[in-house]
Amino acid sequence: MRGELLPATGFVLMWSSGFVGARLGTEETGAATLLMWRFLAAFALLGCWWWVTRRRRIAPRAVAVHAGIGLLAQGVYLLGIVLAVEYGVPVGTAALIAALQPVVVATLSRLLFGERSGPAQWAGLVLGLGGVALVVGGDLAGGTAHPLVYGLPVLAMLGLVAATFAETRTGSRLPQADSLLVQCGVSAVLFTVLATASGGVVPPSSGSFWAAVAWVVLLSTFGGYGFYWMNLRRGSATRVSTLLYLTPPVTMLLGLAMFGEPVTPGGLLGLAVCLLGVLLVLRSPGGMSVRTGRMSTCCSTRSSPHPPRSPRPGPARPRSACSPESCGRHRNTNCPTRSRFSPGSSRRAGSAPAGAPSPTSTRRSRRPLN
């Protein structure tokens, strides 16, 4: 549990920083421009690091797999949330819809892959969702969006769910930094096209905008997505997704610390309920342990050949006995049968008895005379 606490805490803090960075950046420019420069900068930094330290070829199949994961986890998720808020969906409503992901992941994991969740896990999932509702309860009303626009946060949530399953089921062994490089590259292309179409390619010249870009690149992209994939490779999809319940309460506390946003008693109660729900899920049997699918692969009898069996301890096998007739012609003078049946057996082993024909003389005597 202690070894899993640091990655889980890092993920919650880094993922929550994305909402703060979005507010910092959108005060200077539009969302499409911020996302474009965010992933262009992230891809440039990762590309330079890869060129200096690794410079090894990435398999085409791995590129295709992680390009699809990047489109789902970064492109669909971020674009759906941003567009929903831009078209009038309240922030709290969008956050509550996105918080349905752990329940959807747990349900689909059971239906599609047979991954069972115990009663304590389901109780934790329901408690966590209720805690999120308490935190964002003040933002659930007052939306001016068309009813169809509320499908955008649903699409964003489903995109992250699909990316989660793709990461867990493809079994890719690509290093995490390389996979993040591919994902950021695909997202950079996507958001550059969208920013060009909306006419928002040119960034603001203010230093606060570039400070917001540095925030979302280092904390939200490298930290948030990096910790998410790290936890996902070490634990089940349901338990890792449950950590998302803690992001709205932590975002609330970050808003209080950085922007002076008030915290309501309902928000504090929601924070406690979310924490209780997450603890129920993580402390259930299995915790954040390695997924069953990976353990079955490691422990399968077909994954590796059986180790060589060591001989069982026991008495030594007796040597094959020689017959008295063949013992005299046997070259092994230490044969126990020879010493038992030959004359002069009381002599020491290795010495031929007196009068016994030697093997050489026996062979010579059998040659036909011309």
Q: What's the confidence (pLDDT) of residue 44?
A: 96
Output the DSSP codes for 344-357.
Answer: -TTSPTTSPPTTPP
236 and 291 in contact (C-beta within 8 Å)?
yes
Q: Is residue 293 part of a domain?
A: no
Q: Is residue 170 part of a domain?
A: yes
Ranges of residues in the chain with a pLDDT under 50 are: 286-308, 310, 329-330, 337-351, 360-366, 368-370
Q: Is residue 171 part of a domain?
A: yes
Q: Is residue 296 part of a domain?
A: no
Q: Is residue 198 part of a domain?
A: yes
Domain around 164 = 2-286
Residues 6 or more apart in contact with residue 75 via CB below 8 angstroms: 159, 186, 187, 190, 191
Q: What's the confidence (pLDDT) of residue 57?
A: 84
How far is Cα 83 from Cα 240, in angstroms, rounded to an integer?
Answer: 26
Q: Is residue 272 part of a domain?
A: yes
How far is Cα 16 from Cα 216, in angstroms, rounded to an integer?
Answer: 11
Domain count, the chain: 1
Q: What's the confidence (pLDDT) of residue 321?
A: 53
Q: What's the confidence (pLDDT) of residue 357?
A: 53
Q: Is residue 333 part of a domain?
A: no
Q: Is residue 237 part of a domain?
A: yes
Residues 6 or more apart in contact with residue 180 via CB below 8 angstroms: 46, 221, 222, 225, 226, 229
How far is Cα 170 from Cα 66, in angstroms, rounded to an integer?
Answer: 10
Q: CA angle 52-61-157, nearest 5°?
A: 95
